[in-house]
Structure formats: C-alpha cells, structure tokens
A = this chain, B = another copy of it.
Amino acid sequence: MSEPTALSAELTSQARELDKADELACLRTRFVLDDAVYLDGNSLGALPVAVPGRLADVLYREWGELRIRSWDESGWWTAPERIGDRIAPLVGAAPGQIVVGDSTSVNVFKAVVAAVRMADEDAAAGTSEREAGAGGGGVGRRDEILVDATTFPTDGYLAESAARMTGRTLRPVTPAEVPAALGDRTAAVLLNHVDYRTGRLHDLPGLTAAIHEAGAYAVWDLCHSAGALPVGLDAHGVDLAVGCTYKYLNGGPGSPAYLYVRRDLQPRFDSPLPGWTSHTAPFAMRPAYEPAPGAVRGRVGTPDILSMLALEAALDVWYGWVDGKESGDGKSPGPAQEAGAMIESVRAKSLALTDFFLRCVSAYVPEGRVECLTPTAHAERGSQVALRCDDAGDIMKRLIAQGVIGDFRHPDVLRFGFTPLYVSFTDVERAARVLAETLEGAG
C-alpha cells in the first residue's frame, strides 16, 4: 500500500478539503511542530510557541532582577487563582472556582476527602433529601466511596487512601454500574469524564444528577476531557473536579494540576492539606489555621511559579481568537465567552478528526486486524481513538519510527490522541495510512 491508490488519493484529497475548511487551522502555527504526525497530545501537549519567551522573561526579569518583589509586583502570589480563571471557561466554570497547583493525584485526595466531609456534615445536620425523608435526625454515616473501576490507577490509589483515612470503604464500579450502586451508604463518587485507555466519554450530566439524587457528592477527573470538549461543570452542578494541564491544555511536562470547588460548596471545603497559602491571612503567620474564602482554600504550599507561568502562557492560545479569526496578539486575556466559544469549535473539530480517522482506518486496514475500543457514538467519544491488536507494543514502536507518534498502553492498546488545536486532517489520513502499512508489514 506504499504506492498511492485511488482510495488514498481520494482520502488525501478529502483531507485537504477538510483542512481548508477548518476554522482552527490558523492555530497550528502557535505550536512548535515538525514533520511527524503528533497524536500523543493526550499524554503531553506540544510546546506552544509563546512559552519559551515568556519563561525567559520570568527567569531574567521577574526572578533575576525583581526577585522577591515579584511575589507582589509580577503577580506571582495570585497566579493559582488567576490561571484557574483562565481554565474556567474551557470547563464551563464561572470565575473564582478553580485554583491551579499540585498534581492531579494530590488534588484527587483533597477533593475526595473534602467530599466525604461534606457528606458527614450533611448526615450530622440531617440535611440531605433522602435523610430528611427518612425522618431527619439519627441518620447513619455514609460509609462508602464509589470509584470508577476503569480509572487511571492513581485516582483509585488516592481514593483508597482517602477512604482509609476517613474510615470509609472504597467500592470500585464501572461508570455504567454507578446508578445501581448508589444509595444511602454513598458519601462520594470519583469518576473520569473520559476513560484514559478506551477514550470513552462518560455521561457527566446524567451521572452527576444520579449521584445528587442519592444525596452523595460527585468528584470528576477531567484529565482527558478538559481542552478537548465542553465539560459544563457549572451547568451540570458538579461538586468537585480535578484535572491535569499537560494534555490538551499544553502546559508542559508535569505542569500543575487544578481543583474546582463549586462556589456554594467552598465555605464547606474542609481540606486535608491545609497549607499556609490557603490561610485567610497567610503572612500573619498565625498558629491556628483559618481557611481563606473562595477558591484559594484549595491551595496548599508555595505556588510553583516557573511551571505555573509556563502554563499561563500556554493558555494564551485559547484567547484572542473569535470565530475562526485571530483577533489579537494572543497575549491579552480575551473574554471568557471567547474561550467558551472556542471549546465548542474544538469539540466539533475533534469529532471530525476522529470520525475521519475511523473512516481512513476502516478504508486502509483489513477488517479484523484491529479492534476499535472507542465508541463510535459521538456522545460517548472523547478526543482519542484506541485500537486493540495483539502486537500493539511492537506496532507502536514501528509507527513512531515512521513519524506517527501515538502511545502504547499495556497490554494491547494503540492509543491515538487528537488535539484539534494542531492536528490536521492531512495528519490523520497519513497516520491511518502508515498504520495500515505497518500492520501489513507486521502481519
């Protein structure tokens, strides 16, 4: 299949047309890319062009010259909330509810423990609907945490620790089993919006509603959805959420994660990691902890400024863009509506990319050679395609050697992530074609 066939000529030409019509195509130049087809942005996003220059300024001027003064004068101190507000429109959150810092794992621990404590508070007050219905006072403690059994492992490990340290039982269930598993015993539920392995998109609105119906708290992990599709945290009444920023948000390797606490729950957010930067008066150095109001309460230690400001620069790509046209220099923070509108365009392109990839794979790859683990229904698909084949580890090595970068997930999964900000339809056709050639060569 290395000679162009009529089929590949047709798909190549379709790819060109799709690229021509792509209103996001202009954003590709905002990233450092090479001749490879980079389909691993769901593991590590590509380098945004704006980052190195911004970081040089942070190093030479803000740290090197202003030094300690930069905590105030360069806005270092308020970076966690400021950058949280830049992420907010991408996940459907109004300002003041997201704080950036720590790793996703640490934020999972904060969120799950805080959710359990909220459930405890409800039980003590007899306020949840079910408990009120059951007669008010004297209700039992909710002793169970449900966790997505198909989750990225770290969520399960941290949920287990949260359960152990709050005296709960952790019960792994698939997202589909959640509605049946919910009940008076459920304190909190930790779920992934998109499955890291299969790319399956779960029903955040429906599951959140079911969790609330049971009087429990919903904690969502947005690692594989934020920046790739609309989340609608506020609209769907999600209680707490966490996510990383190094995938579709392109913040850089291991860049700081974030924590969302819904505004009305913030006064009840009782952190298991009450560090000094979440204190209401951090520089008063008081011996007693008094949590700050608002999103700040989710902070722990001193913010990691270099990584945080690299992330802030990376987020510029979401601002200064309206309806397919670049409206500014990308540096001035545009209105939240703009970023909110852009995520809708990103979702549309994401689905078009994965649709086209599936079409090309089914055109090029012989029936039965790979099995698609990603749902074909749009409502159930994230921004990645996972293909199962027995020799996946070997195939992925060969693909990478030929400039098609995806990743391998043990034991038999080829994983391809599609970042609509910089992946083109031409990339997609090439990836499918090289995949078919590679499978044929290995077959």
Nearest-Cβ distance from residue A7 to partner chain B, whole angstroms = 31
Given contacts A276-B153, A286-B153, contact A103 B67 (CB under 8 A): no
Given contacts A156-B287, A287-B172, contact A52 B47 (CB under 8 A): no
Instruction: Check if B306 sits within 8 Å of A310, measured CB to CB.
Output: yes
In the complex, A394 has a CB within 8 A of chain B: no
Instruction: Check if B63 sits within 8 Å of A47, measured CB to CB.
Output: yes
Given contacts A106-B102, A149-B287, A306-B310, contact A63 B275 (CB under 8 A): no
Instruction: Check if A273 sits within 8 Å of B152, measured CB to CB.
Output: no
Interfacial chain B residues near A27, Cβ < 8 Å: none
Instruction: Check if B34 sits within 8 Å of A65, measured CB to CB.
Output: yes
CB closest chain-B residue, reference A274: B157
The residue from B157, B161, B307 contacting A307, defined by CB atoms under 8 A apart: B307
In the complex, A217 has a CB within 8 A of chain B: no
- Among A55, A103, A246, A272, find the residue whose CB has the most chain B CB atoms closer than 10 A: A103
In residues 268-323 of chain A, which contact B (Cβ within 8 Å)?
A: 271-277, 279, 283-287, 289, 300-308, 310
Instruction: Check if A38 sits within 8 Å of B59, measured CB to CB.
Output: no
The residue from B157, B252, B308 contacting A279, defined by CB atoms under 8 A apart: B157
Alpha-carbon gap, A415 to B163, bound state (A)? 43
Nearest-Cβ distance from residue A347 to partner chain B, whole angstroms = 24
Alpha-carbon gap, A272 to B59, bound state (A)? 34
Alpha-carbon gap, A51 to B306, bound state (A)? 11
In residues 247-285 of chain A, which contact B (Cβ within 8 Å)?
A: 252-257, 271-277, 279, 283-285
Interfacial chain B residues near A43, Cβ < 8 Å: 68
Instruction: Check if A165 sits within 8 Å of B272, measured CB to CB.
Output: yes
The residue from B32, B103, B161, B310 contacting A274, defined by CB atoms under 8 A apart: B161
Given contacts A157-B276, A287-B149, contact A255 B67 (CB under 8 A): no
Alpha-carbon gap, A405 to B197, bound state (A)? 52
Instruction: Check if B279 sits within 8 Å of A153, measured CB to CB.
Output: yes
In the complex, A239 has a CB within 8 A of chain B: no
Instruction: Check if A64 sits within 8 Å of B157, measured CB to CB.
Output: no
- Among A47, A156, A253, A285, find the residue whose CB has the most chain B CB atoms closer than 10 A: A253
In the complex, A160 has a CB within 8 A of chain B: yes
The residue from B103, B161, B407 contacting A302, defined by CB atoms under 8 A apart: B103
Interfacial chain B residues near A176, Cβ < 8 Å: none
In the complex, A1 has a CB within 8 A of chain B: no
The residue from B103, B285, B302, B409 contacting A254, defined by CB atoms under 8 A apart: B302
Instruction: Check if B55 sits within 8 Å of A51, measured CB to CB.
Output: no
In the complex, A379 has a CB within 8 A of chain B: no
In the complex, A244 has a CB within 8 A of chain B: yes
Give a binary string over A69-84; 1 marks a CB under 8 Å from any B CB, 0 the rest: 0110000100000000
In the complex, A434 has a CB within 8 A of chain B: no
Nearest-Cβ distance from residue A64 to partner chain B, whole angstroms = 4
Instruction: Check if B158 sits within 8 Å of A305, measured CB to CB.
Output: no
Interfacial chain B residues near A34, Cβ < 8 Å: 65
CB closest chain-B residue, reference A67: B44
Interfacial chain B residues near A157, Cβ < 8 Å: 274-276, 279, 289
Interfacial chain B residues near A276, Cβ < 8 Å: 105, 152-154, 157
Known: A103-B302, A154-B277. 20 other contacts (CB 8 A): A55-B306, A59-B252, A102-B102, A103-B300, A104-B301, A105-B275, A105-B276, A105-B300, A105-B301, A106-B106, A153-B285, A156-B287, A157-B276, A172-B287, A253-B302, A253-B303, A285-B409, A285-B410, A305-B307, A306-B306
12 contacts between A and B (CB under 8 A): A32-B60, A44-B67, A46-B67, A47-B60, A52-B56, A106-B275, A153-B285, A154-B275, A156-B287, A161-B274, A252-B305, A255-B306
